[in-house]
Amino acid sequence: MNVKKYVDSLPVTNKHTIAITGATSGIGKALFYHLINKDVDIILLVRNLNKGNALKNEFPNKKIDVIEYDQSSFKKIEKACDELANKYPKLDTIVLDAGNLGEKAPTEDGYPGTIGVNYFGVRHFIDYISPKLKGNVRFVIQGSIVGGLKPKKNASLLDIHLKMFDQYNLSKIYLEAYFYKLFTEKHYANIEYVLTEPGISGTNIIRNMNGFIRFNGKWFLKLFFHSPKKASLTLLTGVSDIAKNGDYIVPRGLFTMGGYPKIKEFPSKRRREYLFEKEKSPN
Protein backbone atom coordinates (compact mmCIF):
# COMPACT_ATOMS: atom_id res chain seq x y z
CA MET A 1 0.00 0.00 0.00
CA ASN A 2 1.19 3.54 -0.71
CA VAL A 3 0.26 6.74 1.10
CA LYS A 4 -2.37 7.79 -1.44
CA LYS A 5 -4.15 4.45 -1.25
CA TYR A 6 -4.17 4.62 2.54
CA VAL A 7 -5.58 8.16 2.49
CA ASP A 8 -8.24 7.19 -0.07
CA SER A 9 -9.24 4.17 2.03
CA LEU A 10 -9.96 6.20 5.17
CA PRO A 11 -13.57 7.35 5.55
CA VAL A 12 -13.94 10.90 6.86
CA THR A 13 -17.70 11.32 6.60
CA ASN A 14 -18.73 12.34 10.12
CA LYS A 15 -16.14 15.08 10.59
CA HIS A 16 -17.26 17.91 8.33
CA THR A 17 -15.54 20.90 9.98
CA ILE A 18 -11.96 20.39 11.10
CA ALA A 19 -9.61 22.89 12.77
CA ILE A 20 -5.85 22.28 12.63
CA THR A 21 -3.01 23.94 14.53
CA GLY A 22 0.49 23.76 13.08
CA ALA A 23 -0.88 23.32 9.55
CA THR A 24 1.54 25.59 7.67
CA SER A 25 4.51 23.23 7.86
CA GLY A 26 5.66 19.66 8.44
CA ILE A 27 3.18 17.06 9.61
CA GLY A 28 0.29 19.51 10.02
CA LYS A 29 0.71 20.73 6.46
CA ALA A 30 0.83 17.14 5.19
CA LEU A 31 -2.43 16.45 7.06
CA PHE A 32 -3.99 19.50 5.40
CA TYR A 33 -3.11 18.15 1.95
CA HIS A 34 -4.53 14.73 2.85
CA LEU A 35 -7.80 16.29 4.01
CA ILE A 36 -8.23 18.71 1.13
CA ASN A 37 -9.65 15.97 -1.11
CA LYS A 38 -12.06 14.79 1.55
CA ASP A 39 -15.49 16.41 1.80
CA VAL A 40 -14.59 18.64 4.77
CA ASP A 41 -14.27 22.31 5.66
CA ILE A 42 -10.90 23.26 7.17
CA ILE A 43 -9.93 25.99 9.63
CA LEU A 44 -6.22 26.76 9.84
CA LEU A 45 -5.08 28.07 13.24
CA VAL A 46 -1.75 29.73 12.41
CA ARG A 47 0.88 32.08 13.81
CA ASN A 48 1.77 33.35 10.35
CA LEU A 49 -1.31 34.64 8.52
CA ASN A 50 0.61 35.01 5.25
CA LYS A 51 1.48 31.31 5.24
CA GLY A 52 -2.06 30.36 6.22
CA ASN A 53 -3.61 32.47 3.48
CA ALA A 54 -1.12 31.10 0.95
CA LEU A 55 -2.36 27.58 1.72
CA LYS A 56 -5.96 28.76 1.50
CA ASN A 57 -5.33 30.40 -1.87
CA GLU A 58 -3.98 27.16 -3.34
CA PHE A 59 -7.54 25.82 -3.24
CA PRO A 60 -9.92 28.69 -4.09
CA ASN A 61 -12.87 26.32 -4.57
CA LYS A 62 -12.54 24.73 -1.12
CA LYS A 63 -14.02 26.06 2.11
CA ILE A 64 -10.93 27.05 4.12
CA ASP A 65 -10.73 29.65 6.88
CA VAL A 66 -7.64 31.12 8.55
CA ILE A 67 -7.54 32.24 12.20
CA GLU A 68 -4.53 33.81 13.89
CA TYR A 69 -3.25 31.60 16.70
CA ASP A 70 -0.14 31.65 18.89
CA GLN A 71 0.31 28.72 21.27
CA SER A 72 2.94 30.57 23.30
CA SER A 73 0.43 33.07 24.72
CA PHE A 74 -2.65 32.25 26.81
CA LYS A 75 -4.21 35.58 25.80
CA LYS A 76 -3.81 34.82 22.09
CA ILE A 77 -5.00 31.23 22.57
CA GLU A 78 -8.18 32.54 24.21
CA LYS A 79 -8.75 35.08 21.42
CA ALA A 80 -8.43 32.34 18.77
CA CYS A 81 -10.68 29.97 20.75
CA ASP A 82 -13.38 32.63 21.10
CA GLU A 83 -13.33 33.29 17.36
CA LEU A 84 -13.34 29.59 16.55
CA ALA A 85 -16.22 28.73 18.89
CA ASN A 86 -18.32 31.72 17.77
CA LYS A 87 -17.84 31.15 14.04
CA TYR A 88 -18.17 27.36 14.09
CA PRO A 89 -20.84 26.17 16.55
CA LYS A 90 -20.90 22.81 14.72
CA LEU A 91 -17.17 22.20 14.84
CA ASP A 92 -16.43 18.46 14.60
CA THR A 93 -12.70 17.98 15.11
CA ILE A 94 -9.76 19.95 16.50
CA VAL A 95 -6.29 18.68 15.59
CA LEU A 96 -3.64 19.91 18.03
CA ASP A 97 -0.38 19.48 16.13
CA ALA A 98 1.51 22.74 16.77
CA GLY A 99 4.71 22.44 18.80
CA ASN A 100 8.37 23.37 18.98
CA LEU A 101 11.81 22.23 20.09
CA GLY A 102 14.62 24.46 21.31
CA GLU A 103 12.67 27.64 22.07
CA LYS A 104 14.99 29.47 24.50
CA ALA A 105 12.83 32.40 25.59
CA PRO A 106 10.13 31.82 28.24
CA THR A 107 6.56 32.19 27.07
CA GLU A 108 4.48 35.28 27.70
CA ASP A 109 2.97 33.51 30.72
CA GLY A 110 6.32 32.66 32.31
CA TYR A 111 6.78 29.03 31.32
CA PRO A 112 9.95 27.57 29.75
CA GLY A 113 9.63 28.09 25.98
CA THR A 114 9.21 24.52 24.76
CA ILE A 115 7.18 23.34 27.77
CA GLY A 116 4.95 26.41 27.58
CA VAL A 117 4.07 25.78 23.94
CA ASN A 118 3.98 21.98 23.80
CA TYR A 119 2.20 21.31 27.08
CA PHE A 120 0.72 24.35 28.79
CA GLY A 121 -0.38 25.94 25.49
CA VAL A 122 -2.19 22.78 24.36
CA ARG A 123 -3.69 22.27 27.79
CA HIS A 124 -4.93 25.85 28.00
CA PHE A 125 -6.50 25.57 24.55
CA ILE A 126 -8.40 22.41 25.57
CA ASP A 127 -9.45 23.73 28.99
CA TYR A 128 -10.56 27.11 27.65
CA ILE A 129 -12.54 26.05 24.59
CA SER A 130 -14.15 22.86 25.93
CA PRO A 131 -17.07 24.51 27.78
CA LYS A 132 -17.79 26.58 24.67
CA LEU A 133 -18.22 23.56 22.39
CA LYS A 134 -21.89 22.77 21.85
CA GLY A 135 -21.96 19.73 19.55
CA ASN A 136 -19.99 16.48 19.52
CA VAL A 137 -16.31 17.33 19.11
CA ARG A 138 -13.13 15.26 18.94
CA PHE A 139 -9.70 16.49 20.00
CA VAL A 140 -6.87 14.76 18.15
CA ILE A 141 -3.74 15.40 20.22
CA GLN A 142 -0.26 14.97 18.78
CA GLY A 143 2.04 13.17 21.21
CA SER A 144 5.58 11.89 20.63
CA ILE A 145 7.71 8.79 20.80
CA VAL A 146 9.49 10.42 23.79
CA GLY A 147 6.24 10.30 25.78
CA GLY A 148 7.28 6.80 26.82
CA LEU A 149 10.48 7.98 28.51
CA LYS A 150 10.82 8.13 32.27
CA PRO A 151 10.57 11.70 33.61
CA LYS A 152 13.92 13.02 34.75
CA LYS A 153 14.10 13.05 38.53
CA ASN A 154 13.24 16.46 40.00
CA ALA A 155 12.76 17.99 36.52
CA SER A 156 10.32 20.88 36.84
CA LEU A 157 7.84 22.22 34.33
CA LEU A 158 8.75 25.69 35.57
CA ASP A 159 12.53 25.47 35.24
CA ILE A 160 13.46 27.94 32.48
CA HIS A 161 17.05 26.64 32.59
CA LEU A 162 16.05 23.07 31.80
CA LYS A 163 18.00 21.71 28.82
CA MET A 164 16.38 21.74 25.39
CA PHE A 165 15.65 18.03 24.99
CA ASP A 166 14.68 17.69 28.66
CA GLN A 167 12.05 20.38 28.10
CA TYR A 168 10.74 18.64 25.00
CA ASN A 169 10.63 15.22 26.64
CA LEU A 170 8.91 16.50 29.78
CA SER A 171 6.33 18.45 27.77
CA LYS A 172 5.32 15.34 25.82
CA ILE A 173 5.32 13.08 28.90
CA TYR A 174 2.91 15.47 30.63
CA LEU A 175 0.81 15.96 27.50
CA GLU A 176 0.25 12.24 27.04
CA ALA A 177 -0.59 11.84 30.73
CA TYR A 178 -3.03 14.74 30.37
CA PHE A 179 -4.72 12.99 27.44
CA TYR A 180 -5.38 9.99 29.72
CA LYS A 181 -6.67 12.27 32.48
CA LEU A 182 -9.11 13.93 30.08
CA PHE A 183 -10.29 10.63 28.65
CA THR A 184 -10.88 8.94 32.01
CA GLU A 185 -12.36 11.87 33.96
CA LYS A 186 -15.00 12.57 31.24
CA HIS A 187 -15.94 16.11 32.29
CA TYR A 188 -17.74 16.74 28.98
CA ALA A 189 -20.07 14.11 27.55
CA ASN A 190 -19.92 15.70 24.07
CA ILE A 191 -16.11 15.55 23.73
CA GLU A 192 -13.86 12.72 22.54
CA TYR A 193 -10.09 12.51 22.87
CA VAL A 194 -7.68 10.66 20.59
CA LEU A 195 -3.90 10.59 21.03
CA THR A 196 -1.56 10.08 18.08
CA GLU A 197 2.18 9.80 17.61
CA PRO A 198 3.91 10.45 14.27
CA GLY A 199 7.03 8.37 14.81
CA ILE A 200 10.21 10.12 13.64
CA SER A 201 10.05 12.36 10.59
CA GLY A 202 11.78 15.27 8.90
CA THR A 203 9.90 18.44 9.93
CA ASN A 204 10.76 22.01 10.89
CA ILE A 205 10.31 21.38 14.62
CA ILE A 206 14.06 22.03 14.93
CA ARG A 207 13.65 25.55 13.48
CA ASN A 208 14.81 27.19 16.73
CA MET A 209 18.14 25.33 16.79
CA ASN A 210 21.39 26.63 15.29
CA GLY A 211 21.97 26.54 11.52
CA PHE A 212 24.36 23.59 11.56
CA ILE A 213 21.93 21.35 13.46
CA ARG A 214 18.97 22.53 11.38
CA PHE A 215 20.68 21.77 8.08
CA ASN A 216 22.20 18.41 9.01
CA GLY A 217 19.24 17.32 11.12
CA LYS A 218 16.85 18.02 8.25
CA TRP A 219 18.73 15.77 5.83
CA PHE A 220 19.40 13.06 8.42
CA LEU A 221 15.70 12.81 9.24
CA LYS A 222 14.74 12.77 5.55
CA LEU A 223 17.21 10.01 4.72
CA PHE A 224 16.58 7.64 7.62
CA PHE A 225 12.99 8.16 8.76
CA HIS A 226 9.59 8.37 7.14
CA SER A 227 8.23 11.46 5.40
CA PRO A 228 5.75 13.97 6.89
CA LYS A 229 3.21 12.58 4.40
CA LYS A 230 3.39 9.19 6.06
CA ALA A 231 3.94 10.54 9.58
CA SER A 232 0.70 12.54 9.31
CA LEU A 233 -1.35 9.40 8.67
CA THR A 234 -1.74 8.77 12.41
CA LEU A 235 -3.40 12.20 12.71
CA LEU A 236 -5.57 11.46 9.69
CA THR A 237 -6.60 8.14 11.22
CA GLY A 238 -7.46 10.01 14.43
CA VAL A 239 -9.72 12.34 12.45
CA SER A 240 -11.37 9.52 10.50
CA ASP A 241 -14.53 7.55 11.19
CA ILE A 242 -12.58 4.45 12.25
CA ALA A 243 -11.12 6.11 15.37
CA LYS A 244 -13.05 6.30 18.62
CA ASN A 245 -12.83 7.99 21.99
CA GLY A 246 -9.68 7.07 23.90
CA ASP A 247 -7.80 5.60 20.93
CA TYR A 248 -4.01 5.69 20.87
CA ILE A 249 -2.68 5.66 17.30
CA VAL A 250 0.98 5.05 16.45
CA PRO A 251 3.09 3.89 13.48
CA ARG A 252 3.26 0.09 13.31
CA GLY A 253 7.00 -0.10 12.54
CA LEU A 254 9.90 -0.98 14.83
CA PHE A 255 9.65 0.92 18.15
CA THR A 256 6.84 2.97 16.52
CA MET A 257 9.47 5.04 14.69
CA GLY A 258 7.72 4.78 11.31
CA GLY A 259 5.17 2.97 9.20
CA TYR A 260 1.42 2.97 8.62
CA PRO A 261 -0.88 3.57 11.61
CA LYS A 262 -2.23 1.07 14.10
CA ILE A 263 -4.69 1.64 16.93
CA LYS A 264 -3.80 0.22 20.32
CA GLU A 265 -4.57 0.61 24.02
CA PHE A 266 -2.80 3.47 25.76
CA PRO A 267 0.06 1.89 27.79
CA SER A 268 -0.41 1.85 31.55
CA LYS A 269 3.16 3.08 32.13
CA ARG A 270 2.31 6.33 30.30
CA ARG A 271 -0.79 7.16 32.31
CA ARG A 272 1.12 8.73 35.23
CA GLU A 273 -1.73 10.31 37.15
CA TYR A 274 0.75 11.09 39.95
CA LEU A 275 2.34 13.85 37.85
CA PHE A 276 -0.58 16.21 38.42
CA GLU A 277 -0.30 16.03 42.21
CA LYS A 278 2.87 18.15 42.13
CA GLU A 279 2.10 20.46 39.21
CA LYS A 280 2.37 24.18 40.00
CA SER A 281 1.84 27.49 38.25
CA PRO A 282 4.62 30.03 37.58
CA ASN A 283 2.37 32.61 39.22
Kindly list the domain boundaries of the chain, sorted by start residue: 3-271
| 220 — pLDDT class (breaks 50, 70, 90) | very low
| 226 — pLDDT class (breaks 50, 70, 90) | confident
Q: What are phi and psi of 242, to 5 degrees?
A: -80, -20
User: Is the Cβ–Cβ distance between 92 and 18 less than 8 Å?
Assistant: yes
Query: Does 153 score more than 90 pLDDT?
Result: no
User: At 137, which amino acid appears?
Assistant: V
Give the torsion sign (CA, 232, 201, 28, 196).
positive
197: left (phi over 0), alpha (psi -120 to 50) or beta: beta
Query: Does 125 score more than 90 pLDDT?
Result: yes
pLDDT of 225 reads 59
User: At 82, which amino acid appears?
Assistant: D
Q: Give the CA distances from residue 194 to residues 26, 48, 202, 250, in Å, rounded to whole numbers and listed in that order.
A: 20, 27, 23, 11
pTM of the model: 0.91
CATH match for 3-271 among 3.40.440.10, 3.30.70.260, 3.40.50.720, 3.55.40.20: 3.40.50.720
Q: Which long-range contacts (CB under 8 A, 24 or more apart) does 9-13 make?
A: 10/236, 10/237, 10/240, 10/241, 10/242, 11/240, 11/241, 11/242, 12/38, 12/39, 12/40, 12/236, 12/239, 12/240, 12/241, 13/39, 13/241
Query: Does 148 score more than 70 pLDDT?
Result: yes
Q: Are strands 248-251 and 93-96 parallel, antiparallel or unpaired?
A: unpaired
pLDDT of 273 reads 87
pLDDT per position as a tens digit, 12-40: 988 899 999 999 999 999 999 999 989 89
Query: Does 135 score more than 80 pLDDT?
Result: yes
pLDDT of 279 reads 62
The total of other beta-carbon atoms located within 10 Å of residue 255's CB is 11
H-state helical runs in 103-163:
113-115, 122-129
Nearest CA to 158 out of 103, 111, 109 is that of 111
